[in-house]
Amino acid sequence: MAERLFTSVIWLSTALVVAMLLWILGDLAYQGMPHLSLNFLLSEPMSAGRSGGIGPILVSTLLIIAVTLLSALPLGLAAAIWLAEFTNRGSAVGNGVRLCLDVLAGIPSIVFGLFGNAFFSIFLGLGFSILSGGLTLACMILPVFIRTCEIGVSSVNDAWRKGAAALGMTRSAAVWHILLPAASPAIVAGLILGIGRATAETAALIFTSGYVDRMPGSLLDSGRALAVHIYDLSMNVTGGDPAAHASALVLLVLIMLLNLLAQGLSDRWLQRRLSV
């Protein structure tokens, strides 16, 4: 009897979680779909976003993500390789860097917003701009990206390193030709985590990339991210809910598309590297 009760509790809890997710997704689809069209994706927002579309907002979002990735990817990868291959395991310097990254990972996103506003927007004079927003997000996603890459690189079988050394390859050559291709699934996983966090982020962008919903002319223009648009429509614009739901739907699809893209690019890269 008690056994069956326990089993039911477990199954019910699971069913509850699944039901909640279906409720959220169903609600989004039900309320967002009617508002969604090709025109919605391409046109400018009108009357504070109630009508019109999200064209400029999509462009700003993609530009912010591009800035984030272009700055976080090389920096993060380089730091991860250094941590995994060029520090001794358990060395004080390596552990110090890892500790700093763990602390950075714990900082709440709104605090990154405060920092981005004070440092990028005001101190460096970038103002409310796509550049400020993208760089703020880069600081935010670096720790999780580095950690995943580092684990990926350092978990490559030691026999491969020894093989490379036996062939007279330098350690840098071994990293480039063997370890990175072998670790590319982990690098992609880190990339996907980073893209997901950057695309979903709202709080860190409100005071760095700003609210302006016009088409950005350059990276120094303010640009409203999709997540900020959803927030603004639902909180500050009465009658903005249909457009907010449609934008939320677009946001979810965008995150999925970017994930597929990251996956596809890395598969091609992996094939090219291993076949050379």
Partner 1 sequence: MSKRNSLFQWNLDRLVVPPLAVAALICVAILLLVLAFLVYEASPVLVDGGWRVFLSDTGWYPLEGLFGLIPMLWASLVLMLGAVIIAAPIGLACAIFIKFYAPASLNKVFRLILSLLAGMPSVVLGLWGLTELVPLIAKWQPPGASLFAAILVLALMVLPTVALTSASALSAVREDLLAGAAALGIGRKAQVLGLVLPAARYGIWSGILLAMARAIGETMVVLMVAGNVVQYPHGLFEPVRALTANIALEMAYATDNHRAGLFASGLMLTLIVLVLAWAASRIVGRNQHG
Binders of partner 1 among 148-187, rule CB under 8 A?
Answer: 165, 168-173
- Residue partners of 96: CB distance under 8 A and separation at least 6: none
Category of 239 on φ-ψ map: left (φ > 0), alpha (ψ -120 to 50) or beta:
left
Q: CA-CA distance, 43 to 39, in Å (whole number)?
A: 6
Rounded to a whole number of angstroms, the minimum distance from the CB of residue 275 to partner 1 is 23
Q: Which of 3, 88, 159, 238 binds partner 1 (CB under 8 A)?
A: 3
Site for partner 1 in 69-128 (CB under 8 A): 74-76, 78-79, 81-83, 86, 96-97, 100-115, 117-119, 123
Question: Quick one: which H or E segment has residue 45?
Answer: strand 45-46
Rounded to a whole number of angstroms, the minimum distance from the CB of residue 31 to partner 1 is 7
Q: CA-CA distance, 224 to 53, in Å (whole number)?
A: 13
Instruction: Tell me which amino acid residue 16 is.
Output: L
Q: Which segment (38-46, 48-56, 58-66, 199-207) binds partner 1 by CB under 8 A?
A: 199-207
Binding of partner 1 at residue 190 (CB under 8 A)? no
Q: CA-CA distance, 6 to 145, in Å (whole number)?
A: 39
Binding of partner 1 at residue 48 (CB under 8 A)? no
By C-beta, is 93 or 271 nearer to partner 1? 93
Site for partner 1 in 243-272 (CB under 8 A): 244-245, 248, 251-252, 255
Rounded to a whole number of angstroms, the minimum distance from the CB of residue 210 to partner 1 is 10
By C-beta, is 124 or 274 nearer to partner 1? 124
Q: CA-CA distance, 137 to 133, in Å (whole number)?
A: 6
Residue whose tokens read 């860097």? 97
Q: CA-CA distance, 173 to 188, in Å (whole number)?
A: 21
The contact pattern for partner 1, residues 130-149, with x = CB under 8 A and - = no contact, is ---------x--xx--x---
Q: How many residues bind partner 1 (CB under 8 A)?
A: 81
By C-beta, is 168 or 217 nearer to partner 1? 168
Q: CA-CA distance, 11 to 30, in Å (whole number)?
A: 27
